[in-house]
Structure 1
Amino acid sequence: MHVRPLTPDRLVAEVVDAIDDRPRDSGVRVLVDGSPPTRPREWAGALVDPLRTRGRPVVQVSAEDYLRPASLRFERGRDDPDVMYEDWLDTGALVREVFAPLAAGGTGRILPARHDAALDRAYRSEYVAVPPGGVVLVSGSLLLGCGLPADLSVHLALSPSALARSTPEEERWTLPAYARYEVEAEPSRQADVVVLLDNPRHPALVECR
């Protein structure tokens, strides 16, 4: 394994290169996965303009907009890390509304947001057509190993000590979920691109040799 330091701008450029290498005859489904301190949504957002500059239409989707209703998420309490890991994300809806439409023979029409977790009610979102060659960036946490059929996956990794340091006290109950994720899903082995973000100003690509 080799760790190659990069500037944030160079990292974005290399991920954009990897996405743009995908064929343009169908939509490209990209996962940007990482714990909240890695800011996966912001990293996904940094890819949007460079991809559009290359002629790739882009739609961003946040996994937080595909969480189950509060009555289901909190059925066994609000701070159960196992329930968070196993049941918070509505994986079936995310596959049905975002990933499956871009598969071969799919409609090409995706639903960018389904459920507002903060207000605990359904969004009134409209379906969006993704043309061939378009890119859908799905960002969030605990996304690898749950059956999401991505064409390219990026994992934003933190060491356990860095994750613990950067997690606010009121969210530290989530740490066992991420420890379990590392053991069971092995995101750094599953992802196509692994980025070490212990120092977010000095990211590094993890390369297997």
Structure 2
Amino acid sequence: MLVADWRGFWRPRSLRYEFGRDDPDAYYDGWLDVPGVWRELLGPLGEPSGRRWVPSLYDPGTDRSSRAPRQEAPDDAVLVLAGSFLLKDDVRWGLDAVVHLSTSPAAIRRRVPAHDADRVVGAWERYVAEDDPAGTATAVLRCEDPRHPAELLRE
């Protein structure tokens, strides 16, 4: 199994914060380096064989390139890509199956730092309205309460 996180494909902080740190539309539209995801992750892993992929391009902690080396992917490898907004039109076509974690704005506010809450909730509400992740995903899990992490809503 191969694992990647969408934060490893964020754009540099100077580009992410171009319209301010709190802008939900900038978070939704501009934080993810979509061409990088396709070039280094989804494109190579979509090939039938001889696949060489990069698990990340960016380290958000240092705001620099992650310098992750290319890796060989076995022909039978499965990628688990974790992240927000993966069912947007510009990303979802490279994914074979997606589990959508349905979360209310109130649960998001409880889980993210207060200074990020408006940005994250605003972007999440836009994502739900525009991209219908619950209707598009292969399976939907409801994730409201950390004591009961998931409830299957739809397979």
Fold match (TM-score > 0.5): yes
Residue of structure 2 aligned with 1:197, choices 124, 129, 143: 143
Q: Does 1:156 align with 2:105?
A: no
In structure 2, list runs of 5 or more residues that go unmatched.
none
CA offsets 1:112-132 (integer angstroms, 9 cap, x no match): 111112211111211111111
Residue of structure 1 aligned with 2:114, choices 163, 169, 181: 169
Deviation at 1:135, TM superposition (A): 1.1
Q: Distance in 1 between matches of 2:111 and 2:59?
A: 26
Answer yes or no: is the 8 Å Cα contact 2:50–2:75 preserved in 1: no
Q: Distance in 2 between matches of 1:83 and 1:107?
A: 36
Q: Does 1:133 align with 2:52?
A: no
CA RMSD of aligned residues (A): 1.6
State the secondary structure of the residue aligned to 2:98. strand
Q: Distance in 2 between matches of 1:162 and 1:73?
A: 24
Aligned pair count reads 151
Identity %: 34
Give the structure 2 partner of residue 185 of structure 1. 131
Q: Distance in 2 between matches of 1:168 and 1:122?
A: 25
Give the structure 2 partner of residue 66 of structure 1. 9
Question: Which has the larger Rg?
Answer: 1
Answer yes or no: is the 8 Å Cα contact 1:91–1:146 preserved in 2: no
Answer yes or no: is the 8 Å Cα contact 1:110–1:130 preserved in 2: yes
Q: Distance in 2 between matches of 1:206 and 1:89?
A: 28
Q: Which residue identity is paired with 1:180?
A: R
State the secondary structure of the residue aligned to 1:147. helix
